[in-house]
Amino acid sequence: MKRSTRIRLWVIAGLVGGLEVLCRTEVIGRFTMIPPSEMILGLVRIVRQGDMNADIVATLGNVAVALVSAIVVGFLVGALLFVLPRVRRVIDPLLATYYAIPIFVFYPLLIVLLGLNRFPQIAIGFMLAVVAMIVNTLNGFDRVPQSLLKTARVYRMGRVRTTFLVILPCAMLYIFTGLKLAVAYSFIGVIAAEFILSGEGLGYEISFAYNNFENATMYPLIVLVIGLSALINMVLYAWEKKYLQRQTER
């Protein structure tokens, strides 16, 4: 383990330990926060009893749908804009300013349009994630060096082979950045939308517990959400390290 990693783990352990002490000594009251150890035990209980399983499945399902559609649509739109530079010139400023808009203002509108069901939440997750994917796909294609394309021509490769064997692998590094952002954004979008208005899902359960002062449920659920996103990020990070980093490291 690297020194910096070890120090980081100690810092986190220290913070959690400190919190534990503060909660146990009632410096932080039980109505504000329960001790971290109880959060973990609560989480174990929730998972054992399985009363939140439907919510976990609903949230993960919504995130998955939002994410996959954002990746597919974002990639296709990015590729399309790349081959249609005139359209791109028109769209570019919109993409650049997109994240200045708080997408959540459209949530009521989406509920009106789609009904009070899972689709508005999926739509919010999708809308947050898709542009990161478009922008990074475009960036990836832009960064394919001319010299690699010329090399493909020297090897007398056709358009299809050049696309699949040169352009895509080369752009992958940047497209993957879009993918990581899309994962984070779709998570944020779906869970936040569940928070605002919904009948199920982890976001809904957290907000429900909060409204009923059920700290024994709320904190374990927060830990669960953090744990899930950390897990997914670790998988992506490991994959990136294994396959992509070696292309750029010096």
* Of residues 89-148, those binding another protein (CB under 8 A): 145-148
For residues 25 and 192, what is the distance between their CA atoms, to the nearest angstrom? 33
For residues 108 and 105, what is the distance between their CA atoms, to the nearest angstrom? 7
CB 81, min distance to another protein, A: 20
Nearest of 128, 99, 122 to residue 110 by alpha carbon: 122
Q: Assess 156 for contact with another protein (CB under 8 A).
A: yes
Nearest of 116, 88, 83, 250 to residue 196 by alpha carbon: 116
Candidates 161, 231, 238, 241: give the one binding another protein (CB under 8 A).
161
The 56-85 site mask, x for binding another protein (CB under 8 A), equals: ------------------------------
Nearest CB to another protein, comparing residues 137 and 215: 137
Place of tokens 């830990």: 223
Nearest CB to another protein, comparing residues 115 and 169: 169
Nearest CB to another protein, comparing residues 40 and 244: 244
CB 32, min distance to another protein, A: 50
Nearest of 84, 174, 100 to residue 135 by alpha carbon: 174
CB 182, min distance to another protein, A: 21
Question: Which of 209-234 are b and which e, b meaning 16 or more Cβ less than 10 Å from the residue's Cβ?
Answer: beeeeebbbbbbbbbbbeebbeebee
Residue 175 Cα to chain centre, angstroms: 14
For residues 38 and 216, what is the distance between their CA atoms, to the nearest angstrom? 8
CB 172, min distance to another protein, A: 7
Candidates 10, 99, 155, 237: give the one binding another protein (CB under 8 A).
155
Place of tokens 């749908």: 65
Q: Assess 153 for contact with another protein (CB under 8 A).
A: yes
Q: How far apart are the first and last CA of the chain?
A: 21
Q: Assess 151 for contact with another protein (CB under 8 A).
A: yes
Binding site residues, another protein, CB under 8 A: 145-148, 150-151, 153-157, 161, 165-166, 169-170, 172-173, 246-250
